[in-house]
Structure 1
Amino acid sequence: MKNTTYLLILSLLLCSCNQTTKEKVTDKSEKNIDSIQIEKNKTDSIKKHQTFNDSIDSLDQDLKAFVPKDYSVISIESGDLNLDEYTDAILVLRKTSEESTSNYAENKPDKRPMLLLIGQKDGTYKLAYKNNNAIYCIDCGGLFGDPFTGITIKNGYFSIEHGVSGGHHWEHVITFKYNKSKNNWFLYKDNYINYKFNDSADENAEALVIDYEKLKTVKDFGEISFEKFNIYNDKGY
């Protein structure tokens, strides 16, 4: 009887020890998982925003001279900016750290310089104007990401294009026109279009339709030169 009682007590003690050990192992495992999650969060915070405009690595030597240290090019467009016989170019630059350092929500966007480069007789380029406030920042589109979509050049005109798609759809195209007598480019049109989902029952209907459109011209904003234009200001200057 004494032996039976002894064995029963020993069995209970062993079960208790095993349970304690399991709890310690589980607790340690949970702590490891928490540590892994913390490290993951740290890694994710390093790269907060994703750009749709990858850096362009292959640059002509003549263009590399216009890219300062810690910056890279996300857009290169060629065309006739000043109505002469030589090909001109527009560069849009980005700070290499913008994916982690730009913070538009706190009014601290990493600005993206835009350069107007005029082609010379010898094939090189000359900087005409630079504007740090003509292109939206990487996180200016909020949850919908990088809003900058591109640049177009045609016969003395150039356009800056932005837009987002997702739960919210909009396009913003800003066009400048060359003034030969002043040897400068001035704001010509500012066109903003907001879209909404089409609730039409017609299966052939467009998925999106214009909700509203706002077109401003010189009559609305007056004379604004490229270097004074500011996209972060509702008035544009």
Structure 2
Amino acid sequence: MRYWMMLPVLAAPPAAAWEPVALPAAVRAALPLGHVARVVTCSRTLDPPRAICVVVAARLDEGNRNSTNEAPQRPLLVYRLNGITATLIARNDKVVLRRDEGGQCDPVEDAGALTVKERFFTLEQGVACGQHWTDYTTFRFDPRTQSFVWQNRIYESWRMNDDTRPDAEALVSDGRRVWRANLQRPVTLANYAPR
């Protein structure tokens, strides 16, 4: 999303390595048992100001699993930081795609990123191997309910260009879909399920 300022993101190493990314010790200690952080960003929200970490977690053994088994869910976790403690304030097990839901490639490994700006954060997932698509899901902190709620989802895809001219773009847009939240009926991060 061009209008977002990218903050430093700690991205995942190749799937074969499955080593945890750097994150605050309090968050590492609060991760679900048997999970590691795959993508992390920590920042301060505004209104009210508070330190948070948003984490895409995965099972420690996920990279070693047999491809005939369904890949496990990857939780999206939001922690509030307070000194040396991290408190889980939101969790969603549906929004992060599993490693086998991206076609040829893992949508978190290939293009997973988190961006935080003020009271918003966006989860980016996508692939650029065989298929080419990116899925952005944005949540915002709602001061009224004191929780994160779904804001919007943007899905963009590209296909190989049929134009054979030497100066033609390799990929051309294959469409863009946008879903926006109904502000009169907010959906919490915990209850959001992609359509």
Q: State the TM-score, normalized to the length of structure 2.
A: 0.79
Query: After superposition, where does 1:14-33 map in structure 2 within 5 Å?
Result: none
2:98 match: 137
Structure 1 stretches of 5 or more lacking a match? 1-49
Contact 1:51 1:138 in 2 (8 A): no
- Secondary structure of 1:65's partner? helix
Contact 1:187 1:225 in 2 (8 A): yes
Instruction: State the shift of 1:182 in Å.
Output: 0.5
Q: Which has the higher helix share?
A: 1
1:113 match: 75
1:127 match: 88
Structure 2 stretches of 5 or more lacking a match? 1-13
Q: Which has the higher strand share?
A: 2
- Secondary structure of 1:62's partner? helix
Query: After superposition, where does 1:48-59 map in structure 2 within 5 Å?
Result: 51=15, 54-59=18-23
Q: 1:201 to 1:160 in 2, by over 3 A?
A: same
Instruction: State the shift of 1:200 in Å.
Output: 2.4
1:93 match: 57
Could you tell me which of 59, 62, 67 is aligned with 2:26? 62
- Aligned-residue CA RMSD in angstroms? 2.7
Q: 1:65 to 1:189 in 2, by over 3 A?
A: same
Q: 1:52 to 1:68 in 2, by over 3 A?
A: same
Instruction: State the shift of 1:219 in Å.
Output: 4.5
Q: Which has the higher contact order (CA 8 A, sep 6+)?
A: 2
Contact 2:127 2:134 in 1 (8 A): yes
Distance in 2 between residues matched to 1:193 and 1:221, nearest whole Å: 26
Greater Cα radius of gyration, structure 1 or 2: 1
Runs of 4+ aligned structure 1 residues displaced above 4 Å come to: 219-222
1:45 match: none
- Secondary structure of 1:112's partner? coil
Distance in 1 between residues matched to 2:28 and 2:62, nearest whole Å: 20
- Secondary structure of 2:50's partner? coil
- The reply to whether residue 224 of structure 1 matches residue 187 of structure 2 is yes
Q: 1:52 to 1:196 in 2, by over 3 A?
A: farther
1:27 match: none
2:122 match: 159
Instruction: State the shift of 1:180 in Å.
Output: 0.5
Q: State the TM-score, normalized to the length of structure 1.
A: 0.66
Distance in 2 between residues matched to 1:118 and 1:94, nearest whole Å: 20
Distance in 2 between residues matched to 1:166 and 1:110, nearest whole Å: 22
2:5 match: none
Instruction: State the shift of 1:186 in Å.
Output: 1.4
- Secondary structure of 2:26's partner? helix
- Per-residue CA distance 1:44-64 (angstroms, 9 max, x = gap): xxxxxx738943254432122
Q: Percent identity?
A: 20
- Per-residue CA distance 1:19-70 (angstroms, 9 max, x = gap): xxxxxxxxxxxxxxxxxxxxxxxxxxxxxxx738943254432122212332
